A = this chain, B = another copy of it.
Amino acid sequence: MFDDLRELAARLASGIAPKTVSKLAINSFAEATPPRPRPFSLWSDEKGKICDYTSWASLTDRHFSGRHLRAAPESYSASLPEDAPYRSPDQVGQVTDLFRRTAFRECPRSTLLFPFFAQWFTDSFLRVDISDRRKNTSNHEIDLCQIYGLTEATTRTLRSLEGGRLRSSTVGGAEYPDTLFGADGEVKEHYRSLPYAREDEDGNSVLKAIFASRNLPDARKEFYFASGLERGNSNVGYTAMSTLFLREHNRLAGELKARNPSWDDERLFQTARNINIVLLLKIVIEDYINHISPIGADIFRVDPGFPEDEPWYRTNWIALEFDLLYRWHGLVTDNMRIDGTDYGQRDFRFNNKILTDHGLGTVLESGSRQSAGRISLQNTPTFLLEAEYHAIKMGRDFRLRGFNEYRVRFGLDPLDDFDELTGDPVLADRLLQLYGDIDNVEFFIGLFAEDPDGGALFGELMTTMVAHDAFTQALTNPLLSKNVFNRDTFTPYGMKTIRQTSRLSDLVARNVPDGEDLFISLSRPSQEGGDRGAGGAINVGADHGR
């Protein structure tokens, strides 16, 4: 598949229209597997029994996560060798241990801005309901719910209701999301209805649970921000992204107001939001996906119109497999260096003072100057191993089929041997001991075990599935529809802004003082890191590999 893409990319040089190349490349991923509707979902009967047949609910109830393949028979694990640890759910731990970071492995291509963006971006649609893991609490749309919330009620709570703006606060002369707590240390009155701040009869809330479980000191409340989602303050990178898009929203509202003085708050708000969502979509495809692409040329672009004529243009529905494959914990470094200071993960999480002290531009530039870790087995920091455990358990609880079955489902040849999966003979042997046969390798393990090929960030199945799910759920956004993508919806100013935005750096240039002079990049600079895939490091002094 990648060879075809490389050939496509090469044709760019010979004068073929970039739009055509983009369309062909997008379709090659979008058509890798049959389009939605998918016959199955995580819907199960009242007793919680996984249903491996089609029901009206599995076709229509999007509260449940989708699934790309029918549930494996209950006998699936029973067919494994008697003594394979995989057979026993109690031994998920042995498989989890495959993820443990032994020594830090650096990603040859990505900066820390990449995990900042990836985590923030996917938090809006990979939203497993912790009270019922069959469900997804998102709208299945790329809707910038990180700053607008999941419901209209939350959106209104976050709006200033003047001039189309979102509420915000000013710290050191710069704009941030509004602070959630008042000077008295209590959640501000008007934010108490937010889903995560709302207290139940016993006075409990998601917010209180976060403070209690993380043992966060009260001092963290000062710069704890009102956000659309409950994880909106989970780390400095996440808050930085929300801040960037919030600034852009308020900037857009001001520009629209200046050009349309008769518009009321509602119209200014709705129009700024629509433009902002499209800016995100452009950045997702033209910056983020082009970075992920192993090709090296920026071949993917947002071209409204053509997807509507394709058979994969269907209502979004996030699948469990898409949720699981996105657990890129290997990207996470042990430290984050900002302006010469190293912060450990404990400092970096739920601690926006780092952001307000250093400022948005510095944090984003620092992220752009540090290498991310590599997405692979044996590279997950200790504090995230429990997350791996739960991911593996989820794959088993919901009876996902094996890695090779997913390869076939996405148009790839099944692998014959563990040596084809990984060039690391020690790891290959360890997997052989665990699974006995390549066909027994779990979806989740295979995804992360598979070696990247020629400059890719991860293995072939992961690349194919990420691209498939991204294209078929980003380019189906209603704002990109032929009936909607026009001046009527966005205004001429909005259309121009959309046209002029392709990368995160464009947003930074508009919303950070002297932002156009900053180095803002998902990709490590080739002059420092060598060519793609060469594996050179950006020396920013972070204390890797302890």
User: Who on chain B is nearest to A267 by CB?
Assistant: B53
Q: Does the CB pair A483–B51 fall under 8 Å?
A: no
Binds B, one of A13-21, A56-64, A233-241, A336-344: A56-64
> Does A454 lie at the interface of the complex (its beta carbon under 8 Å from any beta carbon of B)?
no
Q: Does the CB pair B51–A267 fall under 8 Å?
A: yes
CA distance A489 to B39 in the complex (A): 8
Q: Does the CB pair A273–B56 fall under 8 Å?
A: yes
CA distance A156 to B274 in the complex (A): 40
Q: How far is the CB of A484 from chain B (nearest CB, A)?
A: 5
15 residue pairs bridging A and B, Cβ less than 8 Å apart: A37-B481, A39-B489, A46-B266, A49-B266, A51-B266, A51-B267, A51-B270, A54-B489, A56-B270, A56-B273, A56-B274, A56-B479, A57-B152, A59-B478, A308-B311
Q: Which 8 A-B pairs have the closest CB atoms?
A: A55-B270, A59-B478, A37-B478, A45-B266, A54-B489, A315-B315, A37-B481, A39-B484
A254-277 residues at the B interface, CB under 8 angstroms: 266-267, 270-271, 273-274, 277
> Does A162 lie at the interface of the complex (its beta carbon under 8 Å from any beta carbon of B)?
no
Q: Does the CB pair A311–B309 fall under 8 Å?
A: yes
CA distance A152 to B34 in the complex (A): 28
User: Who on chain B is nearest to A477 by CB?
Assistant: B59
Q: How far is the CB of A59 from chain B (nearest CB, A)?
A: 4
Q: Does the CB pair B484–A59 fall under 8 Å?
A: yes
> Does A488 lie at the interface of the complex (its beta carbon under 8 Å from any beta carbon of B)?
yes
Q: Does the CB pair B141–A54 fall under 8 Å?
A: no
Copies of this chain in the oligomer: 2
User: Who on chain B is nearest to A271 by CB?
Assistant: B53
Q: Does the CB pair B274–A54 fall under 8 Å?
A: yes
User: Who on chain B is nearest to A45 by CB?
Assistant: B266
CA distance A39 to B274 in the complex (A): 12
> Does A38 lie at the interface of the complex (its beta carbon under 8 Å from any beta carbon of B)?
yes
Given known pairs A60-B143, A309-B311, A315-B315, the reply for A270 and B53 (CB within 8 Å) is: yes
Given known pairs A60-B143, A152-B61, A266-B51, the reply for A483 and B34 (CB within 8 Å) is: yes
CA distance A308 to B37 in the complex (A): 10
> Does A362 lie at the interface of the complex (its beta carbon under 8 Å from any beta carbon of B)?
no
Q: How far is the CB of A105 from chain B (nearest CB, A)?
A: 39
Q: How far is the CB of A472 from chain B (nearest CB, A)?
A: 14
Given known pairs A39-B489, A59-B484, the reply for A46 and B156 (CB within 8 Å) is: yes
Q: Which residue, A46, A56, A59, A483, has most C-beta atoms of chain B within 10 A? A: A56
Given known pairs A61-B152, A271-B53, A309-B311, the reply for A39 and B143 (CB within 8 Å) is: no
Size of chain A's interface in residues, with CB distance under 8 A?
A: 42
CA distance A223 to B188 in the complex (A): 55
Q: Does the CB pair B484–A56 fall under 8 Å?
A: no
User: Who on chain B is nearest to A152 by CB?
Assistant: B57
Q: Does the CB pair A56–B271 fall under 8 Å?
A: no
Contact of A56 among B277, B308, B315, B481 (CB under 8 A): B277
On chain B, the residues within 8 Å of A270 by CB distance are 51, 53-57
User: Who on chain B is nearest to A53 by CB?
Assistant: B267
On chain B, the residues within 8 Å of A311 by CB distance are 308-309
Q: Does the CB pair A39–B488 fall under 8 Å?
A: yes
> Does A501 lie at the interface of the complex (its beta carbon under 8 Å from any beta carbon of B)?
no
On chain B, the residues within 8 Å of A54 by CB distance are 270, 274, 484, 488-489
On chain B, the residues within 8 Å of A156 by CB distance are 46
Q: How far is the CB of A64 from chain B (nearest CB, A)?
A: 10
Interface 1/0 per residue, A478-518 and B, CB below 8 Å: 11011110001100000000000000000000000000000
> Does A28 lie at the interface of the complex (its beta carbon under 8 Å from any beta carbon of B)?
no
On chain B, the residues within 8 Å of A148 by CB distance are 56
Interface 1/0 per residue, A14-46 and B, CB below 8 Å: 000000000000000000001101110000011
CA distance A441 to B133 in the complex (A): 54
Q: Does the CB pair B483–A39 fall under 8 Å?
A: yes
On chain B, the residues within 8 Å of A489 by CB distance are 39, 53-54
A118-153 residues at the B interface, CB under 8 angstroms: 139, 141, 143, 148, 152
- Apart from A53-B489, A54-B270, A54-B489, list 20 A-B contacts with CB within 8 A: A35-B308, A37-B481, A39-B484, A39-B489, A45-B266, A46-B156, A51-B270, A53-B271, A54-B274, A55-B270, A55-B273, A56-B270, A56-B273, A56-B274, A56-B479, A57-B152, A57-B270, A60-B143, A61-B152, A309-B311
On chain B, the residues within 8 Å of A274 by CB distance are 54-56
